[in-house]
A and B are shown apart, each in its own frame.
Chain A
């Protein structure tokens, strides 16, 4: 241990540190749980040009351009972000790289903070891109160095697939120094980089040949790790699943797959030959399992382990050993459903929408909570940027809907939808919840704020963008002014041309949001004026500070930030402040 530097890092932080050690020069991302900290950490290194891009496709292309331009580059995103970046992904495998190019994708089995649990490894196979699967923070650090070498050696983009328990687990990580990697010159080579059909046909053949040659080289370490034990059972596992196997069944032989595509089939085949029964344990889809079955190996996988949710040691023990450890019984305890924060700017908009009873197409962000009680004022949530085109589609179906989209999401993929609505002469109403940040992922800047990891970039004015697109009916309101907010939405709904309401107020957790309330007195309820169950208008705001005590509304003075929204809705003047 002497002289060796160890730090206690999350998988994302360790991966970022490994990329820095690998000499990465350009890094880009759009924030998304569980991937966000990769770029946040890279942005702390002054010798890395790190940016929050407007979306994952843009982030991919920025990093890929840098790699073709001759410096090592990395792009990171969550699994659903890879859908957005899928277009350049496929063709980048044809064109190849110049300097190393690594794509980090963090899957979210169990959907801690996602709308689906798709398995990104399918993309690697479909695009013919090697994918490495680290199992813990140390491997996240080590594998990224290997990924850059692989990328340059084979002239291919290389993917690293994380899952939530690799990305967010913290562990001691042994660090190394930054390597000095010389910039490669950009060589104009139109047959390699210009994917017109004549060139792409040639490049596709070259890609398939390259992968066939690569398969021949992947024989043992470092593509797999093997622990041989006595006994008739062998286990093949990847990522964090392998760590659960090591913990719950240390007496089983284990082959840990580090390269999930192309699978190192020769070494797996010779491992499998020594056992009567072979299990495959992996988070997500039966990906490695399918590859092994296709190669004729009789393995047991997702008929034993669930296809849905994330793995746990209990699930792995049950699948491998058929047992459960004795444990105490948990007690039935009421849940703690998620709620918008006290002082959240979104409350005012959802309060108004819940009264207007209009269909609402929603989007991805904290404001998706508008779908829950007490508002129940969001009726679709599918993917980033979907709200505006889906409202337009609803209109074509004869349903006048309101689209609700966040500020960061508007820049991510809302703008093409709004242009489509205007161009095709829809009538729709769009509410842009401008809370001056990318809130749900922990306050990253976006074009509307002008904030970049390095400080101040160019701020892009949402209202100017909306007007430039051709929307003539635009209201900018403070969503905590309930009357003005409701009136603006009502007026917008009566307009027979596209209309936009920009509800602008900083997130209550931002310093500038907190500053708005710093001097504000806490609200409280005058019990004798509150009529209780007959009214409870204040509960419709959905503020976590307002609850019921002895049949009357009650405001928790510790939670209340003094935003005063509740005071506006009480018809009896029972909510007051000192």
Chain B
């Protein structure tokens, strides 16, 4: 059981399954007997808006929002969104897990703005570790790009202090068949291959 509080920030675009992913992490922490808070910032759009979800867990958690500079992990479901919420990570100590996937915002597709370049080298210097995950390809190989979020959870499971059976238990409860089995496969695909996705050099 962790002695300190952990803060995880999930960032992405509405419709990517961010709230399901953060709910799974929160339930895993709760079943481990920890105190948990989960809170979101959502735009007005059901789909296509910027979404950020916070999960904080530990012996005692007071407040719902994560303070800038205190996140242990930022999980970016989309590359530009990971960059938008970078300030939650502290210099030199944070872990970023980013889906190697672009969903251009409307101003970009209409030609009013450009999609930001992903500064991989700079980020490597500013982070303790960077995982760049081809979650879409892995998910599509397993049958559906909708499994992207669970692939990312598999990678996240490598950096959070929870036993694998607890993840399996919660994923098994959150999804009904036939989605249960496919999500467990996606989780393990991310978890088993996590080391491959660490950006080095």
Contact = CB atoms under 8 A, between A and B. Distances in A.
B176 to A, nearest CB: 18
A406 to B, nearest CB: 15
A312 B94 CA distance: 21
Given A168-B39, A337-B106, A339-B48, A8 B87 contact: no
A314 interface: yes
A8 B48 contact: no
Listed residue (A329, A334, A539) with the most chain B CB atoms within 10 angstroms of its CB: A334
Contacts of B70: 313, 325
B67 A314 contact: yes
B191 interface: no
Interface string A1-26: 10000101000000000000000000
Interface in B7-43: 13, 23, 26-27, 30, 33, 35-43
B83 interface: yes
Given A325-B90, A327-B90, A240 B106 contact: no
Contacts of B37: 136, 169-171
A169 B54 CA distance: 10
Interface string B69-84: 1100000000011011
A247 interface: yes
Given A171-B36, A338-B43, A240 B63 contact: yes
B108 interface: yes
Interface in A327-383: 327-339, 341-342, 369
Contacts of B126: 328
B116 A328 contact: no
B48 A336 contact: yes
A348 to B, nearest CB: 19
A10 B89 CA distance: 26
A165 interface: yes
A6 B30 contact: yes
B187 interface: no
B45 interface: yes
Interface in A519-562: 539, 544, 547-549, 554, 559
B49 interface: yes
A170 B29 CA distance: 13
B62 interface: yes
A341 B196 CA distance: 38
B144 interface: no
B64 A165 contact: yes
B70 to A, nearest CB: 6
B87 A312 contact: no
Identify the interface centre among B23, B47, B112: most chain A CB within 10 Å of its CB.
Answer: B47
Interface of A: 1, 6, 8, 112-113, 136, 165, 168-172, 240, 243-244, 246-248, 312-314, 317, 324-339, 341-342, 369, 509, 539, 544, 547-549, 554, 559
11 contacts: A8-B38, A244-B63, A244-B65, A246-B62, A246-B63, A312-B67, A313-B63, A328-B90, A333-B80, A509-B46, A548-B110
